[in-house]
Structure 1
């Protein structure tokens, strides 16, 4: 049922604010659970080494294998979602990843660890790019970075909540004959299945299906978004998925995103063990300190992306935050506990200040199924950073005996990403857009 019609439609700003209030809490909670279940092995790293004999290199490989299968499944997943709708597909994703994440409690050694991480990657594939595409169907271009940033609050909240929660659950060691890490996987995995029921009941596929909007409001929003997307695709000349692989701006986004993801997951999976070198700390204390940088990540994703209202501002913000990641990780590598943790806070602040802005660049150049596939392509290549970062961190730790050695690799690749960011630009429409142009495109 549609909401009762009113004599006067709400303004676009009022509609946008209403959509944020109705959709974002559910999407943020889903992403909290997603990120929690993919990264909770970080807090269990030392226990997995002791209980199962998994080395730092093997741990890094297992952590990264999730992203290998996740990445390979991204494009087909997003193309399926374009056809069947977000409501059905996100529900399916959540049920499958919740079951497999809970089943991580049955891991017995390196090979079962590898297999379960690969299955988890396949199950969860498509959630992030799917939501990025979903949000392009609900927000006009100048509001997308803000919406993306709010969604990415889920990552920060997951790390703020997850590290102390995981540390506390590890203290359930021996209860019911299970290790603490087994309880952690079980307790953190199953809630995704229950939230999937809420997603199925509450998530509309498009504005004209939303109960909280009138049909006229939904139709007007869909028309404006379609006009913007069509004009941006026309300006870029990229109309087919095969053209995405040749679009220089999309390839720049891929390179920058790859470098940023290497940093994100290097920190996600190895920060607890790095903090463990700061002194005699309990698992819970390590969890609390691990949460601190992610509080700053939440602040970055909330306050910064809303300022990326055009291509020039977006490019400058991406460049500045990529440089900030380099500075932060350098401080983390060379400094003691206090300054080092401040450096990681700076890096984390920049992670999600930059990422939601970066994903507005493909949306300024593509539309329809090409946009769905293009966003998935960017995330696919970027997520190889989720494999490469943990692998190099683990390899360097085993090779040198230092948990800090791999940070220099992160600094180097992020410096390359910062250089590439200076060449980013939106589609032609962003610099010349007017209400007349959008209305004319909508009328065609």
Structure 2
């Protein structure tokens, strides 16, 4: 398993880092695009969030194609098309083109995250999956930690070859996806049975282990693709994921603006300041995920993280006008809570399904969740346009996270995927 982790996880995490950078760099371009193109907060919020409309609409169909053609080829297709659309953001000339290209970027990237979740169900036993997801999810804060100063520096390229700094940022940060789209078919392996880089006895052991786990899930392992869409657990976890994603993207897409309001900073300084919360979150993501694996208390770990994030956002909201330093500390606490919640939370639905039903169920969970990626930035933009208040916006995001954490715990802690001590038979009776 150590060999499998070394071979697959760094590559998948790198791809997710690139994806996260390309979808979130619009947060850094906000001020420059507003100055050049006259965007209001509401226009920015709608454009930032409309990415997720395209993403949500094509998420499940994309996962169906991934199951049909194989993760290796389909992930390569996703990389190539989203890289092209990420670079095309440099062509934005007004509101309509902003909305259109952000929507198409979402269409292009649709299916990547659930494809990875499904891919991990083929390679890693359930008992090890939270820690692996933790390594994968670390790409989110790493992308923001590295992308923040990088985006800030690229914004300084104003005037080079006749392009604005924000246009250079989109082009140079979109190209890695295109390059990796060419390389991925040579670097990924679809299934353990095809892993020529494992010794024969290692390959045989992994195939038998994953087949035994599939068989242990009974009918769910053999259900067809559409069965995953009909399972009420996929809808419940998708609804909970919606609340968590509201917090993730509500904070991520607006954090540069919020920190910019703490003082007068140039783009480079702002980039390094925004890096701080994400950099601090990185070690917590992996350590918390490992602890969730060790104890089997995934629901408990998820709710602690989400409540911590809510407390951090709420505290930051009311300390912003009082103490910028303390507000920054609490925004960092919020980032730690939000990102450390993702792996324990998503490991629960990924433990429920197998086979084709997993491709559909995980696609649905991620699709419903990413509606929050549209709703949160748009509502935050409307709140800021209407009230001019960061406090009200952050209170809204904190409420989303707190409600999600409490409801998620009440549901998942009585189920085996959320609490390993719960017997599956008892969970079935409670359902």
Residue 313 of structure 1 corresponds to which residue in structure 2?
297
- 2:103 is paired with a residue whose SS is helix
Residue 355 of structure 1 corresponds to which residue in structure 2?
342
Instruction: Name the structure where helix makes up a greater proportion of residues.
Output: 2
**Equivalent residue in structure 2 for 1:108, among 93, 112, 124:** 93
Distance 1:127 1:364 in 2: 19
RMSD of equivalent CA atoms? 2.0
Distance 2:186 2:339 in 1: 29
Please say if residues 222 and 355 of structure 2, whose CA atoms lie closer than 8 Å, have aligned partners that are also in contact: no
Distance 2:269 2:373 in 1: 26
41-50 or 221-230: bigger deviation: 221-230
Residue 9 of structure 2 corresponds to which residue in structure 1?
24
Q: Deviations over 1:212-260 (max 9, x none)?
A: 21233223212222322332354x7994555545645433322321111
- Output aligned runs, 1:15-164, within 5 Å: 16-164=1-149
Distance 1:52 1:432 in 2: 56
Is residue 2:416 matched to residue 1:426?
Answer: yes
Residue 390 of structure 1 corresponds to which residue in structure 2?
377
**Equivalent residue in structure 2 for 1:276, among 260, 268, 289:** 260
157-166 or 403-412: bigger deviation: 403-412
**Equivalent residue in structure 2 for 1:200, among 175, 178, 185:** 185
Please say if residues 207 and 218 of structure 1, whose CA atoms lie closer than 8 Å, have aligned partners that are also in contact: yes
Q: Structure 1 residues 275 and 430 mapped into 2: Cα distance closer, same or farther (>3 Å)?
A: closer
Q: Structure 1 residues 426 and 242 mapped into 2: Cα distance closer, same or farther (>3 Å)?
A: farther
Residue 394 of structure 2 corresponds to which residue in structure 1?
407
Residue 442 of structure 1 corresponds to which residue in structure 2?
none
Please say if residues 233 and 239 of structure 1, whose CA atoms lie closer than 8 Å, have aligned partners that are also in contact: no
CA displacement at 1:401 relative to structure 2: 1.4
Distance 2:419 2:309 in 1: 30
Distance 1:132 1:370 in 2: 13
Is residue 2:363 matched to residue 1:376?
Answer: yes
* Matched residues, number: 417
Q: Deviations over 1:127-185 (max 9, x none)?
A: 11111110111100110011111011111111011111111111111111111000111
Q: Structure 1 residues 428 and 271 mapped into 2: Cα distance closer, same or farther (>3 Å)?
A: closer
Is residue 2:324 matched to residue 1:337?
Answer: yes
Q: Deviations over 1:383-437 (max 9, x none)?
A: 011001100111001001123321111111212101112220225995489xxxx
**Equivalent residue in structure 2 for 1:304, among 273, 288, 311:** 288
Distance 2:257 2:288 in 1: 30
Please say if residues 310 and 431 of structure 1, whose CA atoms lie closer than 8 Å, have aligned partners that are also in contact: no
- 2:353 is paired with a residue whose SS is coil
- 2:13 is paired with a residue whose SS is helix
Distance 1:273 1:427 in 2: 38
Please say if residues 58 and 110 of structure 2, whose CA atoms lie closer than 8 Å, have aligned partners that are also in contact: yes
**Equivalent residue in structure 1 for 2:160, among 162, 169, 175:** 175
Please say if residues 152 and 356 of structure 1, whose CA atoms lie closer than 8 Å, have aligned partners that are also in contact: yes
209-218 or 124-133: bigger deviation: 209-218
Please say if residues 250 and 380 of structure 2, whose CA atoms lie closer than 8 Å, have aligned partners that are also in contact: yes
Q: Deviations over 1:30-61 (max 9, x none)?
A: 11111111110101101111100111101100
- 1:205 is paired with a residue whose SS is coil
Structure 1: which 5+ runs fail to align? 1-15, 434-444
Please say if residues 60 and 393 of structure 1, whose CA atoms lie closer than 8 Å, have aligned partners that are also in contact: yes
Structure 2: which 5+ runs fail to align? 424-431
- 1:308 is paired with a residue whose SS is helix
Distance 1:225 1:35 in 2: 30
Distance 1:241 1:319 in 2: 30
Residue 437 of structure 1 corresponds to which residue in structure 2?
none
